[in-house]
Structure 1
């Protein structure tokens, strides 16, 4: 039995929950934006990180049909069904994760917004070089970034808003808060 066979499809969340998907290449700022959203919004915002679920929880490679695809979907759905707003973030290649993300957005009862952080390859390399984390620089080489890079790997049907590298972290966070309506929602302290 495949992992996707055990995932229950159907409506998820409530009309009041927000689902935000943030995709882009490595070093495009996805995790920083997700963290910025949590800091700006406060409690009751679940961060569903591809890297955490794929590498830390499952310890698997990013490949077509991998178990993390279903786990990301299941985690996001569980959080939405329990009243959390959700940010799903990661590289999330369209060819591997696109169908799952489209199904999740389609099934969500509340407001869903998807964003693609577009950072050109040359800028990606500059951002990598500026990272202060020596362990990251040792593990994630220039060759890795070259192999992983996909120029505008967008989901079909214009599902995503493209945010350029010219947008500052704060501007990007504020744009997403505004467009998702999270700036009008009072966080619940759990």
Structure 2
């Protein structure tokens, strides 16, 4: 199914829990301004559906539907989440392949020790008590890349601002105007 236009941009940001995906997505939106939709896996799966991350989960189709709807409405879209390759890979490949405009996919490749440091710096104390080091280690998947070389791998040595700027330039978002309405 085709989505968006030649002018819309689609960005996918994936990685392990606490790798910085949400911060990168928020940074892109802040840098771009109005006209960029954030499609967050956690929001749709945990908040909207209150669903566990399971193979064939309803959130997979919902992420695809929301991203396509926003693209068709003329928004640029950032899809962000853990989005494990074995569960979300087919949906992401279809979304990326079906988008008329520029599409880019990034994987934040952060070692487990750095992941633990980043997690401990989160401001949400309730979340920190719910998600412990044990869970992070259990959930961690090393280099869970999508097949076919679809992703640009971003390492722990790339600062948040550098990662945001790289994505802004790679996708052409840096040279596009934000919406004024």
TM-score, normalising length: structure 1: 0.94
Equivalent position of 1:164 in the other structure:
155
Deviation at 1:61, TM superposition (A): 0.1
What is the count of residue pairs matched by the alignment? Answer: 181
Equivalent position of 1:21 in the other structure:
12
Deviation at 1:132, TM superposition (A): 3.0
Residue of 121, 142, 158 corresponding to 1:151: 142
Equivalent position of 2:94 in the other structure:
103
Q: Quick check: 1:48 aligned with 2:39?
A: yes
Residue of 111, 130, 136 corresponding to 2:121: 130
Gaps of 5+ in 2: none
Q: Quick check: 1:31 aligned with 2:22?
A: yes
In structure 1, C-alpha distance between the alignment counterparts of 2:166 and 2:82, rounded to whole Å: 20
Tell me the alpha carbon deviations over residues 46-67 of structure 1, each in whole angstroms, 9 at most, x when there is no partner: 0000000000000000010000
Residue of 180, 184, 187 corresponding to 2:175: 184
In structure 1, C-alpha distance between the alignment counterparts of 2:68 and 2:156, rounded to whole Å: 30
Deviation at 1:125, TM superposition (A): 1.2
Equivalent position of 1:62 in the other structure:
53
In structure 1, C-alpha distance between the alignment counterparts of 2:105 and 2:59, rounded to whole Å: 19
Tell me the alpha carbon deviations over residues 104-136 of structure 1, each in whole angstroms, 9 at most, x when there is no partner: 000000000000001001111121222232111
Tell me the alpha carbon deviations over residues 61-117 of structure 1, each in whole angstroms, 9 at most, x when there is no partner: 001000000000000000000000000000000000000000000000000000000
In structure 2, C-alpha distance between the alignment counterparts of 1:148 and 1:158, rounded to whole Å: 23
